[in-house]
């Protein structure tokens, strides 16, 4: 990883860490949400940006984890994130394994549609079922804590505590994915994205790697989903809707595909864009729609791509891999 | 007559696309260590045949044996792992990755323990050593940071050979390796192929007759998907059917 | 199940299936011939419905004029969109197409809200076609739904004739199979693309116009139905009109009978159907296999 990226990432983390110090519950909660979407967007970048798997159903794993958390809390009184978090990530991983096995048999648009369809299946499953709270979803009345035995280590009812937990999770996700990207495994994913036929001709069992990538990405989306419920205390069918999957895909492209830090920044940008546009006009969807189209058509490398192009212009350096 | 082992053999291998028979009942043998050329007019089914051998296309009929095993119906990656390497008519390289990374991905396959999740790929010394060795055998320069999509056509052809060297297959299937190359590049490649052939078996599809007669130990002539003749260059040259159908009409 | 119930569900399947076919045919043609995934295809459906509603309810146009006007307007809109935003997408990868057409969905949905508000607009069945008729002693079925099914079938036959018997259809079939080859043969594809796209938009608008009284008119109606249309296309095989027809009927059948036989999971059933088809045929029932 270039030292510029490391410095930039460290600076961003430092700035973020200062947010609870402003003692504004709104600000802290707002940025907690942004961090959660950073995890969600980075997890999708592994699939789309590194391996070339365009999934329109990534919200499925976010939703599986969210609903697992909500159900465990509402029906079994499970409020301990030390147990709830691993369990919901495991549920997301299993979901990703099953859906991956079924969808990765297909390619191209069939794959896009298959992933979308499975997420829609889950959407209707929870929407039409009383157990999952129907169209209203599951609203939680108790908060979340980290407890070992009787000792409460952390109380997520406290906005600052919650923020720092999520910040740690976000940084850990970023570092973990960055390591994976540079690892032999990550290089294989990039090879698959670049030329799948050639990877096969070299002897790589491509299907296995795609599945592994899909499951890792799905598990991390589950991490985001679990944290989301600890923040909002609500799991409702809209988080499984294909429009939600499309939204996180937009975050990836706006930030810059395949750069990890790009999608994280993209999450921030899109959420801010939506929030600011919504304050400007109730028809904010128009603004977001125009932005997405423009970025895709004219600035496909996203923000990171623009930044790199700017750097090349300014310093005359050749932008190399 | 040679007592060399048969490395690869097809029996009545056929491929139909609907009612079009692209490859008809092809039975040939490839001996270990030889350079075997497949020639024929355009549309003779040579590339289709190669695709059948490397698993890119499933055969409609017939049997494929490789290295003593029946490998009919095996997928391309399984065949590659069993020791078959392939270059394509239109260079199939990783265009957005660097030249070095192209070869490194090939080299990595030889070191299964290197498929780690957290250590940087560059730190695996054995893979790096192999990459260096491969670049020693071709004239391509690994230090140039160019992406494979940006280098010249001839260099891309060389890169494909380099990737094959990296995976060191027992059998190399090369589809028109010299196509689009200049005279000099072709001579260079012939030299490289001759060197490679001391340790690998080569099957070449070629149009350039000079290349064929300089390199080939045995030649198979395909016309309209069927084998017209198969044997040492001298006997193929003398075969009257071949002369009429192919060489004679030039 | 009683015979009368069975017959009614069969007719429901046919009617819903034909509606889906009208939308799915345009979708599959756009992708098969032009190579573009158009998520915003549902917008034509929605705008067709809204315009027909506008023309009849607020401007008092006679029905035929309103319907024709709505379809025509959507075709013009489609042509504009195709020339400006979609044509550059033809050479881009699927991700770009998904994102741009998703952006279009956002824009169109919001334009509908600006034009008519967020509420569901009730559209009425035209006076001429109200009521039901007796098909048998026991079976009574709404006339309007029969008409819808009939129109859909007519369009299906018409499309089949065009694709199978005309020169344009031949180019469409060839283009579906190998797009670059058609270009290489020197056939100017741009006007053909526009024609195909316009035809698809027209059919979707027609579906919207016809479906309005049954489904009611709201800004999200395009989003909901486009997913089902995509399911139809994937089941049938991309680029295949025959596939769209068979897929649409299958989806109609599973949906209608599913609602009766398995009401708790009825919404899931068509997705399960798609999953099953993909496991058996990863490229749909009639999609090209190579």
By CA distance, what is A199's nearest residue in B? B77
Predicted confidence at residue A205, as pLDDT, reads 94
Q: What is the mean predicted confidence (pLDDT) over B196-214? A: 90
Predicted confidence at residue B250, as pLDDT, reads 47
Q: How many residue contacts between A and C have a Cβ separation below 8 Å?
A: 124
On whether the CB atoms of residues C49 and C123 are closer than 8 A, the answer is: yes
Kindly list the residues from chain C whose CB atom is less than 8 angstroms away from the CB atom of residue A246.
98, 102
Most B CBs within 10 Å, among A198, A258, A317, to test the B interface: A198
By CA distance, what is A292's nearest residue in C? C103
Chain A neighbours, 3+ Cβ pairs < 8 A: B, C
More confident residue, B240 or A269: A269
Predicted confidence at residue A228, as pLDDT, reads 96
Q: Mean pLDDT of all residues in chain C?
A: 87
Q: What is the mean predicted confidence (pLDDT) over C134-148? A: 83
* CA–CA distances in Å: residue A116 to residues A61, A201, B80, C251: 12, 30, 34, 17
Confidence of residue B114 (pLDDT cuts 50, 70, 90): low
Predicted confidence at residue C264, as pLDDT, reads 81
> Of A253, A295, A251, nearest to A269 (Cα)?
A251
By CA distance, what is A206's nearest residue in B? B77
Q: What is the mean predicted confidence (pLDDT) over C26-44? A: 88
Instruction: Please tell me if residue B105 touches chain A, with a CB cutoff of 8 Å.
Output: yes
Kindly state the tokens that stand for C276.
């099953």
Instruction: Please tell me if residue A118 touches chain C, with a CB cutoff of 8 Å.
Output: yes
| All structural domains of chain C with their residue ranges | 3-280
Q: What is the mean predicted confidence (pLDDT) over B232-241? A: 87
| All structural domains of chain A with their residue ranges | 3-240
Instruction: Please tell me if residue B101 touches chain A, with a CB cutoff of 8 Å.
Output: yes
Predicted confidence at residue C178, as pLDDT, reads 67
More confident residue, C174 or C17: C17
Q: What is the mean predicted confidence (pLDDT) over A170-190? A: 94
The full set of domains in chain B, from first to last, is: 6-247 (3.40.50.300)
What does A152-213 look like in DSSP terms, one character per residue? EEEETTSHHHHHHHHHHHHHHHHHHHHHHHHSHHHHHHHHHHH-HHHHHHHT--HHHHHHHH
Sign of the alpha-carbon dihedral angle for B108, B109, B113, B117: positive
Predicted confidence at residue A190, as pLDDT, reads 96
Confidence of residue C106 (pLDDT cuts 50, 70, 90): very high
Instruction: Please tell me if residue A115 touches chain C, with a CB cutoff of 8 Å.
Output: no
Predicted confidence at residue B125, as pLDDT, reads 87
Q: Residue written as tokens 């040579």? A: B46
Q: Check whether C169 has a pLDDT greater than 70.
A: yes
**Secondary-structure percent of chain A, ordered helix, strand, coil, rounded to 5:** 75, 5, 20
| Lowest pLDDT segment from A163-177, A260-274, B66-80, C186-200 | C186-200
Q: Check whether C182 has a pLDDT greater than 80.
A: no
Q: Check whether B2 has a pLDDT greater than 60.
A: no
């Amino acid at each position: 990883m270039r030292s510029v990226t490391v410095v930039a990432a460290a600076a961003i983390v430092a700035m973020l860490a200062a947010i609870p110090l402003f003692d504004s519950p709104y600000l802290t909660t707002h940025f907690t949400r942004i961090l959660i979407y950073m995890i969600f967007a980075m997890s999708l970048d592994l699939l789309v940006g590194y391996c070339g798997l365009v999934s329109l159903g990534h919200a499925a794993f976010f939703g599986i984890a969210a609903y697992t958390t909500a159900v465990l809390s509402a029906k079994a009184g499970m409020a301990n994130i030390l147990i709830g978090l691993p369990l919901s990530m495991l549920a997301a991983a299993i979901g990703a394994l099953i859906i991956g096995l079924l969808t990765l048999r297909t390619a191209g648009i069939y794959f896009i549609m298959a992933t979308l369809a499975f997420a829609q299946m889950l959407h209707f499953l929870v929407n039409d079922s009383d157990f999952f709270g129907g169209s209203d979803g599951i609203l939680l009345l108790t908060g979340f804590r980290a407890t070992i035995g009787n000792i409460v280590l952390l109380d997520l009812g406290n906005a600052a505590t919650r923020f720092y937990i999520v910040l740690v999770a976000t940084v850990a996700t970023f570092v973990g994915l960055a390591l994976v990207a540079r690892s032999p495994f990550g290089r294989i994913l990039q090879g698959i994205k670049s030329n799948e036929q050639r990877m096969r001709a070299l002897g790589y069992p491509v299907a296995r790697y795609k599945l592994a990538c899909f499951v890792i990405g799905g598990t991390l989306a589950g991490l985001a989903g679990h944290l989301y419920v600890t923040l909002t205390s609500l799991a409702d069918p809209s988080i499984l809707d294909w429009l939600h999957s499309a939204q996180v895909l937009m975050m990836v492209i706006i930030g810059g595909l395949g750069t990890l830090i790009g999608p994280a920044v993209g999450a921030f940008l899109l959420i801010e864009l939506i929030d600011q546009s919504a304050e400007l006009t109730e028809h904010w969807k128009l603004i977001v729609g125009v932005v997405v189209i423009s970025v895709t058509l004219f600035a496909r490398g996203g923000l990171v791509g623009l930044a790199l192009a700017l750097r090349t212009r300014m310093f005359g350096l050749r932008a190399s891999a | 007559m040679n007592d060399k082992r048969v490395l690869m053999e097809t029996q009545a291998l056929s491929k139909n696309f609907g009612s079009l028979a692209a490859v008809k009942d092809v039975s040939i043998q490839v001996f270990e260590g030889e350079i075997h050329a497949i020639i024929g007019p355009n549309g003779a089914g040579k590339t289709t045949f190669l695709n059948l051998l490397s698993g890119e296309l499933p055969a409609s009929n017939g049997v494929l044996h490789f290295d003593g095993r029946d490998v009919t119906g095996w997928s391309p990656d399984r065949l590659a792992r069993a020791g078959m390497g392939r270059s394509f008519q239109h260079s199939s390289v990783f265009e957005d990755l660097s030249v070095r990374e192209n070869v490194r991905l090939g080299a990595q396959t030889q070191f299964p323990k290197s498929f780690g999740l957290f250590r940087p790929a560059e730190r695996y010394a054995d893979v790096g050593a192999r990459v260096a060795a491969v670049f020693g055998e071709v004239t391509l320069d690994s230090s140039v940071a160019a992406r494979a999509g940006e280098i010249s056509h001839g260099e891309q052809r060389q890169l494909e050979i380099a990737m094959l060297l990296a995976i060191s297959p027992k059998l190399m299937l090369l589809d028109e390796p010299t196509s689009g190359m200049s005279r000099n590049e072709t001579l260079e490649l012939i030299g490289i192929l001759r060197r490679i052939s001391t340790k690998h078996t080569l099957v070449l599809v070629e149009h350039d007759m000079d290349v064929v007669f300089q390199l080939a130990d045995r030649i198979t002539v395909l016309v309209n998907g069927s084998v017209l003749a198969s044997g040492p260059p001298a006997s193929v040259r003398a075969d009257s059917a071949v002369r009429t159908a192919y060489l004679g009409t030039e | 199940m009683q015979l009368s119930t069975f017959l009614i569900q069969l007719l429901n399947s046919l009617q819903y299936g034909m509606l889906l076919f009208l939308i799915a045919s345009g979708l599959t043609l756009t992708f098969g011939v032009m190579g573009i995934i158009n998520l915003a295809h549902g917008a034509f459906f929605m705008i067709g419905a809204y315009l027909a509603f506008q023309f009849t309810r607020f401007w008092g146009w006679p029905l035929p004029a309103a319907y024709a006007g709505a379809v025509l307007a959507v075709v013009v809109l489609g042509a504009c969109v195709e020339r400006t935003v979609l044509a550059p997408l033809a050479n881009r990868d699927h991700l770009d197409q998904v994102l741009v057409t998703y952006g279009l969905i956002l824009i169109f949905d919001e334009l509908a809200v600006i034009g008519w508000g967020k509420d569901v607009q009730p559209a009425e069945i035209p006076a001429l076609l109200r009521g039901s008729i007796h098909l048998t002693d026991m079976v009574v079925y709404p006339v309007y739904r029969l008409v819808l099914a009939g129109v859909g079938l007519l369009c299906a036959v018409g499309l089949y004739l065009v694709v199978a018997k005309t020169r344009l259809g031949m180019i469409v079939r060839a283009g579906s199979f190998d797009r670059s080859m058609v270009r290489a043969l020197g056939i100017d594809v741009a006007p053909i693309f526009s024609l195909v796209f316009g035809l698809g938009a027209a059919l979707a608008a027609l579906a919207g116009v016809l479906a309005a009284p049954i489904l009611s008119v709201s800004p999200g109606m395009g989003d909901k139905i486009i997913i089902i249309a995509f399911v139809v296309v994937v089941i049938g095989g991309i680029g295949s009109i025959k596939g769209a027809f068979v897929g649409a009927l299958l989806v109609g059948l599973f949906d209608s009978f599913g609602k009766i036989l398995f009401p708790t999971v009825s919404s899931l059933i068509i997705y399960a159907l798609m999953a099953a088809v993909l496991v058996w045929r990863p490229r749909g029932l009639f999609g090209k296999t190579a």
